Structure 1
Amino acid sequence: MSLPPLKTLPAFEAVARLNSFSLAAGEMNLTQSAISHQIRALEDSLGEELFVRAGRKLSLTEAGEQFLEAVAPALAQIERAAVRLRGSSDERLRLAVPSSLAVCWLIPRLPQFQRQHPGIEIDLEMLSDMPHMSDRIADCFLTVRYRQRGYQSQRLYVEQLFAICSRPYWQQMQKRLREEKLLADDEPRSLDPGWLLRYRLLSAASLFDRPGEDWRRWFAAAGAELPTDARLHHFSHMLLAHEAARHDQGIALANDYMIDTAADPDLVRLPVPPMATGDEFHLAYKTSRRNEAAIRALAAWLEEQAARSGW
């Protein structure tokens, strides 16, 4: 069996994960010189350069990337096996999740998971985008980019956008529409989507990385067109647009994991059609780890929570 020096592998994984020799040295309680020596020994053993060093900048070579993809999960598996043999039932899973989904939907529900599975610790990794999945980042991912070699996934949520506003704003809308003889006295069951153009529209650039694109697509899905003179108020993120809507500033677009109007006393879901964005949120994890008890428990619990949320 031709193995590289095994003691060098944790050092390699730490440097690759932290992108720093000094940070890896601090984490492993070694000197930076010792870490550098171990990396050189590993490279000599493999006959390949694993890192590109350009001044203070450090990055993995192609060979380093390939080696890390094999080494990181192997080290994690060895660690889990050692924990079990030491008699500890505690397990730890790193779950990577988009920040909005984590803050608005997942975190309020996590105490229930912890009560049901006290031996499983969930460490959340907040994502600002959807990265290439890797054990270096997390054990499991809540992601819309779930198709990746070596991974399997299960669908939790198909995203759609619906229009919301505050209850006082909704009352003002109805009053104006009745004055214009467009509504009867009863609470309307549906509105003409074009009527929303009479009001301020709160747009979130984070949805489609372009100001106003959310409302343009929503009107297109409703068979209408967003005019160039529409009253748009721009925000960088949905959270800001939702807060503006909550404070009577106009109409925003929301999805099911960020806003539950049935449980929110301040916001109303307007009776206009929703728009499917085309995104599906999946729980994804390595196929080779599909039978791990902690991952199975997390997957079953997330499916249950998604069903309870009406997804």
Structure 2
Amino acid sequence: MSPYPPLKTLPAFEAALRLQSFSLAADELNVTPGAVGQQIRKLEEWLGVELFTRSVRQVYPTADGLAYAARIGPALQQISDASAQLRRRQDHSVHFAMPPSFAAKWFSSRMARFLIMHPTTALHVGSTEEKPNFDQDGLDIAVRYFDGNDDSLEAVLLYRGQAAVYCAPSYRDELGLETPGDLVRATLINDTKHHWWADWLATFAGIDPDQTRALKHIDIDQTAMVIEAAIHNQGVVISNPLLAEEDVSEGKLVHLFPEHVLTVPLGYYLVHPKKRELRSQVRLFRDWLLEEARDLVSSQRL
């Protein structure tokens, strides 16, 4: 008799225990519930114990089932990790995620440059406001807007967090916005995800938070929409310069008071799991992104 159980039974057992359902396990494994049940019975016969208590709508692991899962779970995860790592080495694609505002206002206009430089690399791009889940989403690398502190991640600063003030040229001229104090006459467009107005006005205009709350404002929870509202003459926006630089270069926005830029404790970081070795394609993409960001910082200093 082989010292190994029927290996095809183990994925069915793991999925059924995790989901507590033969039907849900079948959906995940792309087989029928009957096939899952058959694999579980084979494993139970080989082991000589019951792994599940069956009911009409659900299955529950027995004490033996839970103990067995605790022993074989790490080994199954090791098999999965080793297989995925070996497959990734042969993969010429890069799976990348970033915040939606970063995608819309900075990355989208640069993406073609990377593909022209590296035509054999397939780039798979997604956007999310959530913390990236590298294992669940199959990501290689991501941009995350946070403070850079996460023990599980290798984090390299791409662009420091800053808060600067912008509006359409016609809005500036119409309201005569010449000093930070003049903003009391403006409509403040507030990005609820990056709310730095109170700090900026206190630092550069001597306006306390109570006065700031009394000023006319619009609250919007999407950064790209906040910038679009400013472009369409709806008020003054406070934004990271990285997100506004293209609209400034095209003349859609002007940077009000460029000598008054607030440094904030967050930034755009390029992140990936510490324990994961990056494939050559991913390293190329990482280095290209860092170079693009360095070019932007250098041009803003000129």
Global fold match (TM > 0.5) = yes
How far apart are residue 10 of structure 1 and its match? Answer: 6.9
The 3-state SS of whatever aligns with 1:280 is strand
What is the percent sequence identity of the aligned residues?
A: 29
C-alpha distance in structure 2 between counterparts of 1:173 and 1:163, whole Å: 15
How far apart are residue 97 of structure 1 and its match? Answer: 1.2
| Cα distance change of structure 1 residues 75 and 247 upon mapping to structure 2, 3 Å threshold | same
Give 2:208's match in structure 1, choosing from 222, 225, 246.
Answer: 225
Map 1:139-158 to 2 at 5 A: 139-145=140-146, 146-158=148-160
2:243 is equivalent to residue 241 of structure 1? no
The 3-state SS of whatever aligns with 1:194 is helix
How far apart are residue 120 of structure 1 and its match? Answer: 2.0
Map 1:1-311 to 2 at 5 A: 7=8, 29-35=30-36, 70=78, 72-81=80-89, 84=90, 91-131=92-132, 133-137=133-137, 138-145=139-146, 146-174=148-176, 191-207=178-194, 213-222=195-204, 223-226=206-209, 227=211, 228-260=213-245, 261-271=247-257, 273-310=260-297
TM-score (norm. length: structure 2): 0.72
Cα deviation, 1:36-88, whole Å, max 9, x if unaligned, reads: 6668989999x9x9xxxxx89xxxx996997787555333213235xx4xxxx
In terms of mean alpha carbon deviation, does 107-116 or 31-40 score higher?
31-40
What corresponds to 1:188 in structure 2? Answer: none
> Counterpart of 1:114 in structure 2: which amino acid?
L
> Counterpart of 2:153 in structure 1: which amino acid?
Y
The 3-state SS of whatever aligns with 2:193 is coil
Q: Structure 2 stretches of 5 or more lacking a match?
A: 52-56, 59-65
C-alpha distance in structure 2 between counterparts of 1:147 and 1:5, whole Å: 44
Deviation beyond 4 Å, 4+ runs, structure 1: 2-29, 35-45, 61-72
C-alpha distance in structure 2 between counterparts of 1:35 and 1:197, whole Å: 67
| Cα distance change of structure 1 residues 122 and 164 upon mapping to structure 2, 3 Å threshold | same
| Cα distance change of structure 1 residues 65 and 217 upon mapping to structure 2, 3 Å threshold | farther
C-alpha distance in structure 2 between counterparts of 1:265 and 1:18, whole Å: 55
The 3-state SS of whatever aligns with 1:217 is helix
The 3-state SS of whatever aligns with 2:196 is helix
How far apart are residue 230 of structure 1 and its match? Answer: 0.8
| Cα distance change of structure 1 residues 156 and 199 upon mapping to structure 2, 3 Å threshold | same
| Cα distance change of structure 1 residues 205 and 302 upon mapping to structure 2, 3 Å threshold | same
C-alpha distance in structure 1 between counterparts of 2:136 and 2:79, whole Å: 10
Greater helix percent: which structure? 2
The 3-state SS of whatever aligns with 1:163 is strand
Alpha-carbon contact 2:140-2:278 (below 8 Å) kept: no
C-alpha distance in structure 2 between counterparts of 1:248 and 1:270, whole Å: 14
| Cα distance change of structure 1 residues 237 and 144 upon mapping to structure 2, 3 Å threshold | closer
RMSD between aligned residues: 4.0
What corresponds to 1:210 in structure 2? Answer: none
